[in-house]
Structure 1
C-alpha cells in the first residue's frame, strides 16, 4: 500500500490539473470537484447506510434491481450510490427513490475517502463488477464496514497485472467479506490474488437481471411506420474502429437484400459527428436522431442519443453487438435477447465469455470476424432464420435471475459489521 499511496501522491498535481482543465472546458463544475474530494450531501437520517459504487451507466443500470430489492427488504436502509461519471450520477438520480442519494465517487486519496466515510458512515460497501481502487477497499474495511464485490469479473490480463503486487493484493482482497463473481474464470483469478475462499458467494451476472423498459408505445408506433423489422438491423453500442466495418457490412449486405436498413447506435453519443462523417464519406443517405430528424426513407438512421436503446432493439430483427470487433470485450447479449433480436457478434467477448460460449454451443448467435463476414452473414439472414436465432438465444441465456438475487440481497443485509456498533471518531480524521 505504501508504494501505491506514494505514487498517487506524486500524481496528485497531474490529477488536479486534469480536473481543473475539465472545469475550464465546462465539462464539470466546482461543485462536481467538491464531490470528488469527499464533500457533498449524504443521508443523515437514522437507519443503516449502504454505499454502492459503479463506474458508470452500464454497471449502475445492471444493479438497479439489486438496489431496489435491498431497499424493499429493509425499510430503514438508505443507499448512497456513487459513480465515476456525471452520466452515471444523473442516471441514479433519475430513479427518484426517496432513500437513495447519488453523487460522484470520492477520488482514491485517503483524505477524500476519509471525509466521505466520516459523513456517510456506511455499514457496507458494494462494488459492482471490477472498479478496483485500493484505498477505497482498505480504508472502508478499516473503519469496520464490510466490503462486497457483486457481479465481479477480472480478465486474465488484469489478474496478471495485479499479481505482480502480492502485498497490495493481500491488502485489497483481504478486505473483501463477500464476492459473487460473474463466471468461474474470474472466481479462480480472484482466489489466486488473495481472496479468502469463505468469502465466495454463488455466481451472479447482474446484467442477466436487467429487464429494459419497453419503449413508449406511441413512439414505437411512429417509428414502426418507417422500419420493417424483418428488413432492419441494429449495430448496437459500437466503438471507434467498428463503425467503418459496420458500414462496409451494410453496403455488402444491401447487394443481397436491397431493402435492408441500418440503425447505427454508437456507444458514446458524443461521437455522433464523427460517425456521421463516416456515413457521409461512404455515400450513404442517413438521418440523425439527435437533430430530431425523421427517419423517412433514409438508408441509415444514426441513433446518437442516450436512453433509447429499447426502441432501437424493438425495431430491429437482427442486432450486431458492439465492442466485439475491437479489443473492448463485447457488450451484453442479454438486451438484444430480451427484445427478440437475432444476435451477431465479433470475436472479442471477454466481458461475457460464458454467455457467448452458451450461445455458440446452442447455435444461438452468429460470430463474425470483420466487416466482410458481417456483411455476408447479414446478406444471408432470412426473417425465419432471425426468429429462430432469437428464440434459441432466449433459451440459452435465460433472462431472469430467479431466486439468486433475493437470496444474495438477504446475505448482504446480514453481513456483520463493526460499524453498526459505532466507530472510534479518532479514526475519522483525514489522513495525508
Structure 2
C-alpha cells in the first residue's frame, strides 16, 4: 500500500500543479475532495472515467434514479464533467473525482454521505474501494492481459480490493476469468454484460450549416486518434484522393490539445484543412480537423465510413458500438484488445475490415466508394453488435447488491 500511495502522490501532484497553472480552483477543490453538497442525503457514488463510460452508463443511471436513489457522479475528464452536468438530472451531483489518497477520499465519503460505490470498466481505485462503507459494484469490468500483469506487482493490495467487491459484471469472459484469478470471490461474479452495447445516439444532430458541406457517402471519419496514427491516416487519405477526389476526412483526435501538432502533419502532406475550434468553413477543405470535445456523435452522423482509432498503436482500440449505432461502416487497426469480444463478433460476421497500414486503409476506402456498400456494412455492424441486453435483470442484480 505504501508504494501505491507514493505513486498516487506523484500523479496527484502533477494533476494539481497543472490545475494551479490553469487557475482552475474548482477542479483543485474537487480533486482534494473539498466540494460539498448543498443537501444532506445518503448517496450512491458512481464513477465513470470519461465520456464514453459515462454515456454508456446513462441507462443504469436513469434506472437508479427511478428507484429513488440519490447519486454523486464523479469523472476524470473535463469533457465528461460537461456531459454529466449537461444532463441536469434530478437528485444527482456531478464533479471531478478526488485523487485516490486517504484524505480526499474520506472527505468525499463523509461529506456526501456515501452508502455504496459503483464504478465502471477498469477504473478501480483501491483506496476508494477499501474505504467505501457499503457495497462495491463494478459494471462492464475490463481487465486485459497487460493490465493483469501490472496488477501482479501489487498482488496483496489487489486481493484486498477484490475481496471488497460485492458484485462484478465483466464485459467479456476473459476479463471475468482474470478478475477471479486476481482474487474476486466467485460468488461476486455476475453475468457478462457490456454496457457499451446500451449506447444510444444523442438526440441532437448536425445542423444544416455543419452537414451541408459533407456528403455522407464521400466522408470518412478517423475517430479518437492518438499520436502515431495520424500519419498513417493522412497518408491513406492522400493516396485515395486520385481515385476519389471528392472524399473528405474528418479527423477527430482523442486529445484536442494536440491540434497544432496534427495541423503540421496535415500541412506536410500538402492537404487543405479547416479547424472546428476556429470556426473554419469545411466546404473546400480536404481534411476537417474536429479538434473539440463532446461532439463525436456529430461526426459519426456525417460519415459513411469510420476508422476506429487507438487500434494502430498499443492502446487497445476504441469502441465500435458508437459508429455501429450510426450505421457507419467500420474500419480498424489490428490492436483491439479493449473490445476483443466485440471485434471478434464483427470479424466472424465479416462486418468490419482490419486495415493495419496506410495501403490497406486506402484500399478499403476505395472499395467502400458506393453508398450501397457503406450502408450494407454499417447495417451489418449494427446488427452484429446489437446485444439483447437484459437491463431489467442487471438492475435487479444491482439493487440486490446495493441493498445487501
Fold agreement, TM-score > 0.5: yes
Distance 1:114 1:223, change over 3 A: closer
Whose Rg is larger?
1
Provide the residue aligned with 1:422 in structure 2: none
Provide the residue aligned with 1:129 in structure 2: 121
How far residue 382 of structure 1 moved from its aligned partner, in angstroms, is 2.9
Partner Cα separation in structure 1 for residue 82 and residue 172 of structure 2? 30
Match of 2:225 among 234, 238, 241: 238
Provide the residue aligned with 1:86 in structure 2: 78
Does the residue aligned with 1:263 lie in a helix, a strand or coil?
Answer: strand
Provide the residue aligned with 2:55 in structure 1: 61
Farther-moved stretch of structure 1 (322-331 vs 105-114): 105-114
Q: What are the superposed Cα offsets for residues 39-68 of structure 1, whole Å, 9 maximum, x if unpaired?
A: 21236344x421001122221121122111
How far residue 198 of structure 1 moved from its aligned partner, in angstroms, is 1.0
Within-5 A mapping of 1:171-320: 171-216=160-205, 219=207, 221-320=208-307
Distance 1:364 1:84, change over 3 A: same
Does the residue aligned with 2:277 lie in a helix, a strand or coil?
Answer: helix
Does the residue aligned with 1:222 lie in a helix, a strand or coil?
Answer: helix
Farther-moved stretch of structure 1 (84-93 vs 254-263): 84-93
Alpha carbons 1:123, 1:417 under 8 Å: kept? no
Partner Cα separation in structure 1 for residue 393 and residue 5 of structure 2? 41
Distance 1:24 1:339, change over 3 A: same
Alpha carbons 1:43, 1:101 under 8 Å: kept? no
How far residue 352 of structure 1 moved from its aligned partner, in angstroms, is 0.6
Distance 1:234 1:206, change over 3 A: same
Distance 1:43 1:356, change over 3 A: farther
How far residue 9 of structure 1 moved from its aligned partner, in angstroms, is 4.8
Distance 1:377 1:9, change over 3 A: closer
Partner Cα separation in structure 2 for residue 184 and residue 340 of structure 1? 27
Distance 1:401 1:69, change over 3 A: farther
Alpha carbons 1:52, 1:127 under 8 Å: kept? yes
How far residue 254 of structure 1 moved from its aligned partner, in angstroms, is 1.3
Distance 1:319 1:177, change over 3 A: same
Within-5 A mapping of 1:4-43: 4=1, 6-10=2-6, 14-15=10-11, 17-26=13-22, 28-29=24-25, 31-42=26-37
Match of 1:407 among 382, 385, 393: 393
- Normalising by structure 1, report the TM-score: 0.88
1:391 aligns with 2:379: yes
Alpha carbons 2:199, 2:325 under 8 Å: kept? no
Alpha carbons 1:256, 1:380 under 8 Å: kept? no
Match of 1:351 among 335, 338, 341: 338
Partner Cα separation in structure 2 for residue 193 and residue 127 of structure 1? 17
Partner Cα separation in structure 1 for residue 126 and residue 309 of structure 2? 31
Distance 1:289 1:15, change over 3 A: closer
Distance 1:256 1:156, change over 3 A: same
How far residue 225 of structure 1 moved from its aligned partner, in angstroms, is 2.7
Which 5+ residue runs of structure 1 have no aligned equivalent? 419-432
Distance 1:43 1:163, change over 3 A: farther
How far residue 88 of structure 1 moved from its aligned partner, in angstroms, is 2.5
Alignment RMSD (CA, Å): 1.9
Provide the residue aligned with 1:169 in structure 2: 158
Does the residue aligned with 1:67 lie in a helix, a strand or coil?
Answer: helix
Partner Cα separation in structure 2 for residue 406 and residue 27 of structure 1? 44
Alpha carbons 1:42, 1:80 under 8 Å: kept? no
How far residue 346 of structure 1 moved from its aligned partner, in angstroms, is 0.3
Alpha carbons 1:125, 1:147 under 8 Å: kept? yes
Partner Cα separation in structure 2 for residue 411 and residue 42 of structure 1? 29
Which 5+ residue runs of structure 2 have no aligned equivalent? none
Distance 1:268 1:16, change over 3 A: closer
Distance 1:277 1:406, change over 3 A: same
Distance 1:20 1:354, change over 3 A: closer
Q: What are the superposed Cα offsets for residues 79-121 of structure 1, whole Å, 9 maximum, x if unpaired?
A: 0011123332232122101211011222222222222211222
1:105 aligns with 2:97: yes
Partner Cα separation in structure 2 for residue 56 and residue 307 of structure 1? 10
Alpha carbons 2:73, 2:92 under 8 Å: kept? yes
How far residue 152 of structure 1 moved from its aligned partner, in angstroms, is 0.5
Match of 1:155 among 144, 160, 163: 144
